């Protein structure tokens, strides 16, 4: 995935891809004409939901001129809608384009969400692209890389185990920071959405990142923890936290104010002294209960039942949670809190 550097014929490469719908094309042409962009080069990445192009900024008020940038264009033909569109197209009753209009609105929201998440992350000091300009489904952001070559994703990085260990630490500390300072869960964390350049980790692709308020935020976090624990375990990094332990590390409030590196070191010593390195398969087996249980987001999401068990609910469904599972630190803390509240009420 290298950008084809085609200087001179500005839009040719981008339009050749035939992925831009007419309205998107119009906006991009306007950006070129008004000087927001000086030129657009090739496609850095053609994904299911978005394409990313390499470009150079022009002269435009409020924008640094003549710098490389990445243009993420969210496709108005995103998969979920594509199937439905197929049924509608060609049917004269749906020629009013109303559905197309709503889809555009939705995609626009998606681009807006990525922009806002990036801003939140940058104000917390997390290394991620800086949003430069947002127009509908088109997000211009700073380019991670140089001369049209994007920085490698962790998927493509080749370094020795010691360096991987450092990257691992950056990743888990970033997850914590995102959680506590940005109140965000990435929700699609993988070796494809992390870049590495000049020994710095960069987090990208945050359109789907959710606020901690989201009913499934902790479930998404669990998924992210499995993904990262698996990746670094398979890279041979010693004493990596199991998905469950990583989850606890990310959400733990007791670690606030303490030296985070020392805290990690302590955990790693504990892991290596208690049985040494385990394969991710073993870890997942040991964490089976944690993996299955629905983790309630807050007190209002669980309620104790008369028989001593707990019922957890999200917005649509109710899940049974047996008391044995309350060993999980969060659930446990919430139960205690809930109990206290109950006691106070009966006083
Ligand atoms: P998708 O939803 O298609 O996964 P991403 O945001 O992950 O979208 O971007 C896809 C790819 O484009 C990334 O893997 C990365 O290689 C490249 N990319 C995205 N943003 C940038 C950027 N700001 N600078 C350089 N390359 C980028
Ligand atoms: Mg991605």
- Ordered domains of the chain (ranges, CATH): 12-150 (3.30.200.20), 154-292 (1.10.510.10), 294-347 (no CATH)
Q: Is the CB of 71 under 6 A from ligand 1?
A: no
User: Which ligand lies nearest to the CA atom of residue 1 in the structure?
Assistant: 1
Q: Is the CB of 156 under 6 A from ligand 1?
A: no
The closest alpha carbon to 56, from 68, 44, 74, 65, belongs to: 68
Probe residue for ligand 1, chosen from 44, 54, 118, 130 as the CB with the greatest number of ligand atoms within 8 Å: 44
Length reported for the chain: 347
pLDDT at residue 317, as a whole number = 33
Which atom of ligand 1 has the smallest separation from the CA of 145?
25
Task: Determine the atom of ligand 1 nearest the C-alpha atom of 50.
Answer: 3
Ligand at shortest distance from the CA of 78: 1
Taking the CB of residue 85, how many other CB atoms lie within 10 A of it? 16
Our answer on whether the CB atom of 145 is closer than 6 Å to any ligand 1 atom is yes
SS in 3 state form for the chain? CCCCCCCCCCCHHHHHCCCCCHHHHHHHHHHHHHCCEEEEEEEEEECCCEEEEEEEECCECCECCCCEEEEEEECCCCHHHHHHHHHHCCCHHHCCCHHHHHHHHHHHHHHHHHHHHHHHHHHCCCCCCCEEEEECCEEEEECCEECCEECCEHHHCCCCHHHHHHHHHHHHHHHHHHHHCCCEECCCCCCCCEEEECCEEEECCCCCCEECCCCCHHHHHHHHHHHHHHHHHHCCCCCCCCHHHHHHHHHCCCCCCCCHHHHHHHHHHHHHHCCCCCCHHHHHHHCHHHHHCCCCCCHHHEEECCCCCEEEECCCCEEEECHHHHHCHHHHHHHHHHHHHHHHHHC
Choosing from 205, 219, 224, 248, the catalytic residue is: 205
Measure 151 CA to ligand 1 centroid, in angstroms: 10
pLDDT at 168: 98
> Do 91 and 180 touch, CB atoms closer than 8 A?
no
Ligand 1 atom closest to the Cα of residue 141 is 23
Q: Is the CB of 50 under 6 A from ligand 1?
A: yes
> Ligand 1 pocket check: which of 40, 204, 207, 208 to mutate, most ligand atoms within 8 Å of Cβ?
204
Ligand 1, residues 40, 42, 45: which to mutate, most atoms within 8 A of Cβ? 45
The strand pairing partners of 200, in sequence order, are 197
Bridge partners (DSSP) of residue 139 are 72, 134
pLDDT at site 250 = 95
pLDDT on residue 105: 79
Residue 194 CA to ligand 2 centre (angstroms): 8
Sign of the CA dihedral 232, 238, 243, 247?
Answer: negative
Q: How high is the mean pLDDT in each 10-residue block of the chain (347 residues)?
A: 42 56 94 97 91 97 96 79 50 56 81 95 98 97 97 97 98 97 96 98 95 85 96 96 94 84 94 86 89 64 58 40 34 48 51
Q: Are 71 and 135 spatial neighbours (Cβ–Cβ below 8 Å)?
A: no
Neighbours of 192 (CB within 10 A): 16
Going by C-alpha positions, the residue among 192, 194, 157, 159 that lies closest to residue 175 is 194
Q: Check if 205 is active-site.
A: yes
């Amino acid at each position: 995935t290298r950008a084809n550097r085609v200087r001179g014929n500005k839009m040719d490469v981008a339009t050749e891809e035939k992925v831009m719908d007419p309205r998107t094309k119009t906006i991009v042409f306007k950006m070129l004409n008004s000087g927001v962009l000086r030129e657009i080069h090739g496609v850095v990445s053609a994904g299911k939901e978005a394409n990313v192009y390499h470009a150079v900024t022009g002269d435009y008020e409020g924008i640094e001129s003549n710098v490389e940038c990445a243009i993420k264009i969210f496709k108005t033909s995103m998969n979920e809608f594509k199937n439905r569109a197929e049924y509608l197209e060609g049917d004269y009753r749906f020629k009013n384009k109303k559905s197309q209009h709503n889809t555009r609105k939705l995609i626009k929201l998606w681009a807006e969400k990525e922009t806002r998440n990036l801003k939140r992350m940058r104000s917390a000091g997390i290394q991620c692209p800086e949003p430069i300009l947002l127009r509908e489904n088109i997000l211009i952001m700073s380019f991670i890389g140089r001369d049209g070559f994007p920085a490698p994703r962790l998927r493509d990085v080749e370094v020795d185990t010691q360096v991987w260990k450092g990257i691992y630490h950056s990743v888990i500390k970033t997850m914590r920071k995102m959680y506590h300072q940005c109140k965000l869960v990435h929700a699609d964390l993988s070796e494809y959405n992390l870049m590495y350049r000049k020994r710095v980790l960069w987090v990208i692709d945050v359109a789907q990142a959710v606020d901690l308020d989201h009913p499934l935020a902790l479930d998404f976090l669990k998924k992210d923890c499995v993904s990262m624990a698996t990746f670094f375990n398979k890279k041979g990094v010693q004493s990596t936290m199991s998905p469950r332990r990583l989850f606890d590390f990310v959400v733990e409030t007791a670690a606030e104010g303490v030296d985070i590196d020392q805290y990690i070191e302590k955990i790693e010593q504990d892991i290596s002294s208690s049985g040494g390195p385990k394969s991710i398969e073993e870890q997942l087996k040991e964490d089976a209960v944690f993996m299955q249980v629905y983790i309630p987001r807050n007190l209002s999401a669980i309620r104790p039942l008369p028989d001593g068990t707990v019922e957890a609910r999200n917005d649509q469904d109710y899940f049974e949670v047996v008391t044995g599972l309350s060993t999980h630190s969060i659930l446990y803390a919430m139960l205690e809190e809930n109990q206290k509240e109950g006691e106070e009420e009966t006083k």
